[in-house]
């Protein structure tokens, strides 16, 4: 991937996240990380390629190289000793639109559909295959950046 193509994709995905934060949707993530326990929730975030690249960049910025193995069914980006997300500022769209009940439940799709479409456009431009499970999507993105 050309550097300018990567930069453009990162900027567009971050713009989508910033716009989501401006939406008048009442939700409050308390960073309880219950939604990061995929085995318990039965729900695993799926990322478009642009989201995966943003997450991978955030992960690399922590000084880490390889995605940790996740043997306990939780997100590999959840730091086990602190219980915090390693990439909170760069967390994927699904982690922001809260399937978490404590944060207020999932956002109504029709209120964020335009943002989903923008992420899909970035995915298409990057030759992505649509949303993929977080582990595989971020591992592949790490190999690309
Ligand atoms: S990316 Fe962060 S917020 Fe999202 S599930 Fe993983 S640890 Fe939780």
pLDDT tens digit sequence for 98-138: 767 777 777 888 989 999 999 999 999 999 999 999 999 99
Mark the ranges of the chain whose per-residue pLDDT is less than 50. none
Nearest CA residue ID for atom 2, ligand 1: 85
Pocket residue to mutate for ligand 1, from 17, 32, 33, most atoms within 8 A of Cβ? 33
Q: Are strands 132-133 and 84-85 parallel, antiparallel or unpaired?
A: unpaired
Nearest CA residue ID for atom 5, ligand 1: 36
How many whole angstroms separate alpha carbon 23 and alpha carbon 11? 19
Give residue 99's pLDDT. Answer: 66
CA of 45, closest atom in ligand 1: 5
How many whole angstroms separate alpha carbon 54 and alpha carbon 123? 12
Coil, strand, or helix at residue 85? Answer: strand
- pTM given for the model: 0.92
């Amino acid at each position: 991937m050309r550097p300018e193509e990567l930069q453009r994709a990162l900027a567009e995905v971050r713009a989508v996240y910033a716009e989501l934060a401006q939406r008048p949707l009442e939700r409050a993530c308390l960073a309880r990380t219950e939604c990061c326990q995929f085995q318990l929730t039965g729900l695993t975030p799926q990322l478009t390629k642009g989201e995966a690249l943003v997450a991978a960049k955030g992960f690399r910025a922590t000084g880490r190289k390889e995605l940790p193995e996740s043997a306990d069914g939780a997100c590999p980006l959840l730091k086990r000793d602190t219980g915090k997300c390693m990439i909170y500022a760069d967390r994927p769209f699904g982690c922001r639109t809260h399937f978490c009940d404590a944060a207020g439940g999932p956002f109504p799709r029709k209120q964020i559909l335009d943002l989903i479409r923008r992420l899909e456009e970035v995915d298409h431009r990057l030759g992505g295959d649509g949303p993929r499970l977080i582990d595989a999507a971020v591992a592949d993105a790490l190999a690309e950046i």
